[in-house]
A = this chain, B = another copy of it.
């Protein structure tokens, strides 16, 4: 059976024809007319789905289903996009609209980060796991949680906001207005802040020199640490402890087979993943009696959204 996975973004919509092995047979994109009326945006997506089915030589009626990942707040069960910061969806009954336009019955929708997590778990870095937590270390911190092969989304799909679990009560201010959130310590933005503070405190360090040359981003401290700078090594050591503390919290609740790390910071590869894996395996509750928890970097790249959306439809 073949499925179509749709990954809606603020700039473009991507869609792919995906088989039951999670391989993309053909894919295509269309511009997102983000400020058009919602029905028109859905009609554009319907047209893209038709096109991809055509290109793959499969009739819509022969599809196993269509899965969709959308940014913003999505009520998976109702099939409704509640709102999306950058796209004109407000209480949009997406599943009903798209299903109606294409006469396809099995249409599923979830948040785009959830879809990517499902894709990585079923077909990517977590292949074979029944339980996983995907943590995206980017501008913020996103989490996608799979329990027994299914996305955990909470009542009305309001959950899986693991970036706002408090790991240090009374600690750093978070963008959400609270203090001590995981995101306030583990996002790329937080790492940049930690880097800037270290540079201020140690203007003589290799880290400070590098920061002066090329500005500060999520890679700066990793680069200086690789070059042997002690201050940078301390920044990275602390950052890994912060990320690890959040992962251990998730481990003690979910005890997944695997943590999948995605987002910009995950590109640091082993310099991030290996110490993080050691930290989790050492600190998870009951780790000495229980199966080890793996920590890996995401592997599907930009296709995770399409593949995960298709996987959503496969699960019925």
Contacts and interface: CB of A to CB of B under 8 A. Distances in A.
B252 A249 contact: no
A156 interface: yes
B162 A252 contact: yes
Nearest to A241: B169
A253 B165 contact: yes
Given A147-B147, A242-B169, A249-B166, A290 B255 contact: no
A240 to B, nearest CB: 13
Interface string A238-279: 000110010011111111110000000000000000000000
Given A156-B255, A159-B255, A253-B143, A166 B167 contact: yes
B155 A256 contact: yes
Q: How many copies does the complex hold?
A: 2
Question: Which residue of A154, A156, A162, A293 has the most chain B CB atoms within 10 A of its CB atom?
Answer: A154
Contacts of A162: 252-253
A273 B52 CA distance: 54
Interface string A48-82: 00000000000000000000000001000000001
Interface residues of A, number: 50
Contacts of A108: none
A286 interface: yes
For the complex of A and B, the 6 pairs showing the least CB-CB separation, nearest first, are A154-B255, A159-B255, A158-B290, A158-B255, A165-B249, A164-B285
Interface of A: 73, 82-83, 130-131, 143, 145, 147, 152-162, 164-171, 176, 178, 180, 241-242, 245, 248-257, 283, 285-286, 289-291, 293
B155 A257 contact: yes
A159 B253 CA distance: 5
Contacts of A290: 155-156, 158
B289 A166 contact: no
